[in-house]
């Protein structure tokens, strides 16, 4: 067994990752593409449905800032739970309401989607009205900008030029993983959904899928999302798989594009999650004498980490790593690359 030196890109922030119940995702092990999408659907299907009015009470546990105020991703207004509920509004910061981030007109305002906490958020009523039922998108010349920088205007992301709503960068990954959840939770349950310029039933159109993949990679899972995932689970008894396992997006829709991109080696897994002092990456098809392994995130900082290999595994020394979320790539000349997530 040889000893090597590994270069690692450190995360900009350290966060702790809570875990789903033991064995929660076991039925999805080893699957990719639509088979994985179907397996995850079966895991999170038939959730406990809360009432639409029950959202007001749920929000104080799912969407509270550290100071106890409402966590609004569309504005910087300061809301007190219950007392600042909409109501009528005439301008920004008048009140907050219940935003269907996947607009209800796209699914015909039906249950259980209408009160599914995973895509409902408390937001400023005025900004919510400006968003209307426009798709999410990217805006260069806004016709409206909220006080936290969210924008309305013509879409500049390739594939669609209509009016869109762009949240700030800090929350783009949150909404991407929200949309991935909707595409899995309501997989094959969307026959009578009207759809939209962004969606076909519960599935994203190609331009929207490409954009959401970019948002997912550009804004990794945050402590806010992890805490919210756990809080929603206490109500609905289901989870957002793309918060627990961000790599599922690539394993279903491909890396970087398409359903289960054949240019990516999917035969790779990692355990334990989270890593403690070490973790093991199991792979198939790589010759370990020649494989190149890279750990990365968005910060670009590097340091050395030891690891050792056998014919089918890489054992990484993780004790010195800060808590966070890492993507590991395994590459070898002439073979498809593999990608895996490590959580510490």
Q: What is the pLDDT along the chain (344 residues), one digit of tens a residue?
A: 333 333 333 232 333 334 678 899 999 998 989 999 999 999 999 999 999 999 999 999 999 999 999 999 999 999 999 999 999 999 999 999 999 999 999 999 999 999 999 999 999 999 999 999 999 999 999 999 999 999 999 999 999 999 999 999 999 999 999 999 999 999 999 999 999 999 999 999 999 998 999 899 888 899 999 999 999 999 999 999 999 999 899 889 875 444 445 555 666 777 787 778 888 888 766 776 777 777 765 444 555 677 788 877 888 888 877 777 677 777 777 777 776 667 66
Closest CA to 224 of 9, 13, 47, 11: 13
User: Which residue has tokens 């038939």?
Assistant: 46
pLDDT of residue 189: 97
Q: Which of 103, 119, 174, 168 is nearest to 139 (CA)?
A: 168
Rounded Cα–Cα distance for residues 41 and 157 (Å): 29
Q: Are 151 and 145 in contact (CB under 8 A)?
A: yes
The full 3-state SS of 109-126, as one line of letters, equals CCCCHHHCHHHEEEEEHH
Q: Is the dihedral of CA 230, 112, 260, 26 positive or negative?
A: positive
Q: What pLDDT score was predicted for residue 325? A: 67
Residues in the chain: 344
Give me the domains of the chain, ranges plus CATH numbers: 3-12+274-343 (2.60.40), 31-253 (no CATH)
Contact 318, 274 (CB under 8 A): no
**Which residue bears the tokens 């800060």?**
322
Residue 312: strand pairing partners: none
The neighbouring-strand residues paired with 315 are 280, 308
Give the global pTM: 0.74
Q: For residue 309, which of 337, 326, 286, 342 has the smallest C-alpha distance?
A: 286
* Residues in CB range of 61: below 8 A, 6 or more apart: 231, 234, 235
Q: What is the pLDDT of residue 274?
A: 75
Question: Which is it for strands 292-296 and 325-331: parallel, antiparallel or unpaired?
Answer: antiparallel
């Amino acid at each position: 067994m040889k000893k090597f030196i590994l270069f690692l890109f450190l995360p900009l922030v350290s966060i702790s990752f809570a875990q789903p119940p033991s064995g929660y995702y076991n039925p999805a092990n080893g699957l990719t593409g639509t088979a994985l999408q179907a397996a995850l659907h079966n895991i999170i299907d038939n959730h406990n449905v809360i009432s639409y009015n029950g959202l007001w009470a749920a929000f104080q546990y799912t969407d509270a800032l550290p100071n106890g105020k409402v966590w609004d991703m569309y504005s910087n207004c300061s809301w007190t739970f219950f007392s600042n509920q909409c109501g009528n509004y005439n301008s920004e910061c008048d009140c907050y309401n219940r935003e269907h981030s996947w607009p209800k007109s796209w699914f015909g305002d039906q249950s259980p989607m209408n009160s599914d906490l995973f895509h409902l958020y408390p937001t400023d009523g005025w900004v919510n009205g400006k968003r209307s039922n426009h798709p999410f998108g990217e805006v260069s010349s806004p016709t409206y900008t909220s006080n936290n920088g969210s924008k309305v205007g013509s879409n500049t992301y390739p594939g669609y030029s209509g009016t869109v709503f762009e949240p700030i960068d800090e929350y783009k990954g949150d909404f991407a993983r929200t949309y991935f959840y909707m595409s899995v939770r309501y997989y094959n349950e969307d026959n009578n959904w009207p759809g939209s310029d962004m969606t076909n039933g519960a599935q994203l159109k190609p331009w929207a899928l490409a954009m959401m993949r970019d948002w997912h990679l550009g804004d990794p899972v945050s402590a806010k999302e992890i805490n919210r995932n756990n809080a929603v689970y206490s109500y609905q008894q289901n989870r957002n798989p793309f918060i627990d396992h961000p790599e599922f997006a690539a394993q279903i829709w491909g890396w970087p594009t398409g359903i289960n991109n054949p240019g990516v080696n999917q035969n790779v897994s990692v355990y334990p999650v989270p890593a403690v002092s070490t973790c093991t990456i199991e792979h198939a098809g790589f010759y370990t004498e020649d494989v190149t392994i890279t750990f990365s995130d968005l910060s670009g900082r590097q340091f050395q980490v030891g690891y050792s290999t056998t014919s089918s595994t890489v054992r990484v020394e993780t004790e010195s790593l800060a808590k966070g979320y890492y993507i590991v790539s395994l590459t070898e000349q002439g073979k498809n690359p593999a990608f895996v997530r490590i959580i510490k």
